[in-house]
Amino acid sequence: MKRVITYGTFDLLHYGHINLLRRAKALGDYLVVVLSSDEFNWDSKQKKSYFNYEKRRQLLEAIRYVDLVIPENSWDQKVSDVNEYHIDTFVMGDDWAGKFDFIQEETDAEVVYLARTPEISTSQIKAELGLTGKTDDDK
C-alpha cells in the first residue's frame, strides 16, 4: 500500500482544497491529512481559523479521498509523521515549493508539490465576505 501525507489548515473548505486532496490521493492508496490545530495556528502562525479544529476535522473526514486526519501541533513533526505513518509521498501545494525538500533527504518519502487551484483561496473568500484575519493562505 502506498501512503501519502499532506498538511494544512483547510479552513472554509472549498473546491481548491478538494482538488488538492483528490490529486494527493491519486498518488497513492491511503491519504493522511495532518490538520493544523487551533493552538498551532495561533501560536506558530498568528492565524485564527473561522472554523475550529474539530469542525475542520469533521469536514475532512467526510471527504472520500481522506483516510485519516491527525493534528499538526508543531512545524517539527513532519519527519516523525512520515516515519510513524510509513509515508511514501509527502505532498504540499506549490506555494511551498522547495521548503520541504529536506523531508526527502531525511526519510524515504518522495516530496511532491502540486499546483494550487489558481482562482480560489481561503484569503479570497474571507476578503469577499468581509471577514478579517490571516488565513492558511497568507504567509
Tens digits of per-residue pLDDT, 119-133?
777 677 667 777 765
Q: Using the predicted structure, report yes or no on whether residue 115 has a pLDDT greater than 60.
A: yes
Q: Which of 25, 47, 78, 126 is catalytic?
A: 47
| Nearest-angstrom CA–CA distance, 104 and 112 | 10
What pLDDT is recorded for position 46?
75
Give mean pLDDT, residues 2-22: 94
Give mean pLDDT, residues 70-92: 97
Q: Which of 2, 25, 45, 126 is catalytic?
A: 45
The dihedral through the CA atoms of 55, 59, 61, 65 has a sign that is negative
**Full-model pTM:** 0.87
Following DSSP, what letter does each residue of 61-117 receive, concatenated?
A: HTSTT--EEEEE--GGGHHHHHHHTT-SEEEEEGGGTTTTHHHHHHSSPEEEEEPP-
Tens digits of per-residue pLDDT, 15-27?
899 999 999 999 9
What pLDDT is recorded for position 132?
62
> Which domains does the chain show, CATH number per domain?
3-129 (3.40.50.620)
Active site residue 47: yes
Three-state secondary structure call for residue 28: coil
Mean pLDDT value across the chain: 90
Could you identify the residue written with the cell 478538494? 18
Active site residue 134: no
Give mean pLDDT, residues 20-41: 97
| Nearest-angstrom CA–CA distance, 32 and 6 | 7
What pLDDT is recorded for position 84?
97
